[in-house]
Each structure stands twice: as structure tokens, then as C-alpha cells.
């Protein structure tokens, strides 16, 4: 009986020992190595090493396959060595269980993934730099615009310093916007357009109106927007007003009016969004601003006759804008015709003169513009009957002269 028990114990011990040896031996791992060209890589040395330093070495066959027996559970660093891989390659795998997943290494897929990751990181960094330039430019533009408003109220002896600082801020904005544009991604059409439009506004501030028109056109080519067309219109009429050649000036005025027409058309088809009207309301707002800006520029430069047509369009777009009626009335008055008949200066005003001035008064008779319109109406009434050319008989108030 004792001999039987001893035999059983010995047999049981052998079974346990055998299981322990099997566990220590581990499992087989296998995989395939695919090269950067997408083809299997033969004769690649595959070194498998765990955290304790235990190492296995094998090679791939003609189809890029490899196998290693007896790999215990754990985390392993697999290193590939081959003349085709001058820098080598390493990747980590985990061995767990008797039937592990294949340890496949596809260098083509890895390279594509790494390239995409690197590109994404580069794009993110480029966007960050672009935004830094854009923000710096926007700050400079805000400072310059604020100084421009101050110029209207400060004493004459203080204007020189403000003008110098304003011009410096506009130039800084232009430099920073240009740097920002260079950092915009090739496919980022919206930001390209926005930056070009911003460059146009900086050019406007430095009175480079032809450059501004070019910048606005680039923004439009990328992304047609009503506001971009409206800004282009103002740049064109400013550029034209500076021309000595009447034909060139007239063409730029025509182009400016066409840009306003396009802005109105685009705005009328735009859907309404929260906080922004669409359709007729949007086109009216854009048209009123765009056409009025043309009229303001032409009036200020002394081209009253040319200012009438755009100002009439502006008044149609927004009949409640008193400034538009004032400008239109002033433009009409500035185009007065006169001739001397029987010792009298006979003044002939356009039929629309009194209507425009009356609408100005009706909107707000007590305001500054209303008072000026009323004064012009009185002068027009007095002068329409003719004025004697004799000394001392002319009216004390003459119609506004061209600016």
C-alpha cells in the first residue's frame, strides 16, 4: 500500500513539473514584415526582447513571414534589422495567452500614418502662428481706427502726432495681415478670403486704394461676399477720385457702381440668420451703405454731378437715412447752373433739389443736418427768382461750394 501511494505521488509531481516547464516555455509568436513599398521583406533580422533583457532572434522568409517559439507572456520590443532599413525599426507588442495576435509590421501603413500625424502637427502650428499675426494686425487696426476718429475733434497742433501714430498702426496692421496670409492653409478658403479683405482695409487706411482694390478682388475671387464687394466699391471710387485722367476716373466710378450692384444682388439671395437679416432687408442695408459711400467720396472730391446717381440709389435703399438726403441735396445744389440775363444772375436748380432737402428736413428738422437742409432750401428759394448783379443786392448766403 505504501508503495502504491509513493508511485501516485511521484506521478503527480511529474505532471506538475511538466506543466510548469510548459508554462515557462511560453507560446509561439508569428508575423509578417511589409516594406515601405508595400511588398513583403525577406531576410530581415527580427530581434524580440522583453523588459528583463530576455532576447529571441529570428529572420523573415521569402514572403516576409517570421515565427518564434517559446515566447513567455509579457511586453516585447521588436527590432528589425536589414540593409533595406539603414535606420532600423522598432515596435512594441504584447504576448498574452497561448494564441496571440499576429505581430505584423507594415512599414508602408506606418509611414503613411506618421506622415499624416506630422502634417497635422505642422498644420496646427501654422494655424497658431497665422492667428497670432492676425490678432496682432487686428489690434493695430483697432488702434488706428480709434486715432482716426480722434483726428476729427483734436486741436490742429495735436494732429501731426496722431496722424504719425495712426499711419504707423495701419502699416503694422498691413505687415501683420500679410504675414498671416502666408500662414493660411492652402485649402482654407474662408480664412484666405478674410485675410485678403483685411489687407484691403489696411491698404485703405494707408490710402493705397489701388492696392486695396486688388486685395478685395482676391478675397472676392476666393469667397464672394456682399461686404467684400461693398469694400471693393469704396476702394475703386477712391482710386478713381485721385486720377487726373477723366476717362480713368469715370471707368473706376462705373466699376464701383457695378461692385455695389453685385453686393446688393448677393445680399438679396442670402438666407436670414440669427442676428443678421436676409433678403430685401439685407440688400437694402448693403445698398444704402455701399452707394452712400460712393456719394460721400465724390461729394468730398468735388464731383457733385457724379455723386447724384449713387446717392439716389442709396436713398431708395434706405429712405430714412437723413445723411443720404442731405448729401443728395448738397450734390444737387453744387450742380446749379447760372447765367446772366438783363442784369440778373439766373440760377437753375435740378428739379430734385428741393425734394431731397425737404425729405432731409422731414426726418429731423431740429437736428444739425435738418437745420443745414432748411438753410439750403431758403437759399435755393431766394436764388431761383434770380439775383441782381448790382453791388449789395446779392444774397448773403450762396449755395455750398464744391469741396
The string of pLDDT tens digits covering residues 341-352 is 777 778 889 999
Instruction: Break the chain into its structural domains and give their ranges.
Output: 26-100, 129-223
Residue 96: pLDDT over 70? yes
Residue 6 confidence class, pLDDT cut points 50, 70, 90: very low
Residue 287 confidence class, pLDDT cut points 50, 70, 90: very high
pLDDT over 90 for what percent of the chain? 62
Contact 310, 292 (CB under 8 A): yes
Fold adopted by 26-100: Immunoglobulin-like (2.60.40)
Average pLDDT over residues 66-89: 90
Residue 272: pLDDT over 90? no
Residue where the block lists cell 497670432: 132
What is the helix (H) or strand (E) element at residue 75, kind and residue range?
A: strand 74-82
Average pLDDT over residues 274-285: 70
Hey, what's the cell of 222?
476666393
For the 129-223 domain, the top CATH level (class) is mainly alpha
Query: Where do the H-state alpha helices sit in 151-225?
Result: 156-182, 189-205, 209-222
Q: Which of 3-7, 259-263, 315-319, 363-367 has the lowest mean pLDDT?
A: 3-7
Average pLDDT over residues 4-30: 51
pTM: 0.67
Q: Give the three-state DSSP class for 216.
A: helix
Amino acid at each position: 500500500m505504501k508503495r502504491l501511494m509513493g508511485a501516485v505521488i511521484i506521478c503527480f509531481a511529474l505532471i506538475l513539473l511538466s506543466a510548469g516547464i510548459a508554462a515557462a516555455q511560453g507560446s509561439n509568436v508569428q508575423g509578417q514584415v511589409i516594406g515601405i513599398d508595400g511588398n513583403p521583406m525577406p531576410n530581415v533580422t527580427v530581434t524580440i526582447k522583453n523588459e528583463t533583457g530576455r532576447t529571441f532572434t529570428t529572420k523573415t522568409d521569402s514572403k516576409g513571414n517570421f515565427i518564434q517559439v517559446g515566447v513567455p507572456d509579457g511586453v516585447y520590443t521588436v527590432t528589425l534589422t536589414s540593409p533595406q532599413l539603414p535606420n532600423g525599426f522598432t515596435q512594441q507588442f504584447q504576448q498574452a495567452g497561448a494564441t496571440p495576435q499576429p505581430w505584423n509590421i507594415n512599414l508602408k501603413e506606418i509611414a503613411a500614418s506618421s506622415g499624416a500625424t506630422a502634417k497635422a502637427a505642422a498644420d496646427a502650428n501654422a494655424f497658431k502662428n497665422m492667428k497670432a499675426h492676425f490678432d496682432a494686425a487686428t489690434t493695430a487696426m483697432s488702434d488706428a481706427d480709434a486715432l482716426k476718429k480722434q483726428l476729427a475733434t483734436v486741436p490742429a497742433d495735436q494732429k501731426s502726432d496722431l496722424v504719425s501714430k495712426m499711419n504707423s498702426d495701419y502699416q503694422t496692421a498691413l505687415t501683420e495681415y500679410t504675414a498671416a496670409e502666408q500662414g493660411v492653409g492652402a485649402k482654407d478658403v474662408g480664412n484666405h478670403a478674410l485675410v485678403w479683405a483685411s489687407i484691403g482695409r489696411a491698404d485703405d487706411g494707408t490710402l493705397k486704394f489701388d492696392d486695396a482694390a486688388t486685395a478685395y478682388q482676391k478675397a472676392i475671387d476666393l469667397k464672394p461676399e456682399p461686404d467684400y464687394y461693398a469694400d471693393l466699391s469704396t476702394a475703386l471710387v477712391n482710386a478713381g477720385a485721385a486720377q487726373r485722367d477723366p476717362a480713368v476716373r469715370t471707368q473706376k466710378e462705373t466699376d464701383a457702381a457695378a461692385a455695389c450692384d453685385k453686393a446688393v444682388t448677393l445680399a438679396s439671395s442670402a438666407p436670414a440668420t440669427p442676428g443678421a437679416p436676409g433678403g430685401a432687408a439685407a440688400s437694402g442695408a448693403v445698398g444704402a451703405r455701399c452707394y452712400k459711400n460712393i456719394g460721400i467720396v465724390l461729394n468730398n472730391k468735388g464731383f457733385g454731378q457724379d455723386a447724384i446717381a449713387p446717392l439716389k440709389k442709396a436713398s431708395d435703399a434706405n429712405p430714412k437715412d437723413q445723411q443720404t438726403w442731405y448729401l443728395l441735396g448738397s450734390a444737387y445744389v453744387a450742380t446749379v447752373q447760372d447765367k446772366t440775363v438783363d442784369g440778373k444772375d439766373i440760377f437753375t436748380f435740378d428739379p430734385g433739389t428741393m425734394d431731397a432737402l425737404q425729405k432731409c428736413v422731414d426726418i429731423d428738422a431740429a437736428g444739425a443736418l435738418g437745420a443745414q437742409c432748411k438753410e439750403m432750401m431758403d437759399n435755393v428759394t431766394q436764388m431761383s427768382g434770380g439775383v441782381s448783379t448790382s453791388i449789395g443786392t446779392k444774397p448773403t448766403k450762396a449755395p455750398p461750394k464744391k469741396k
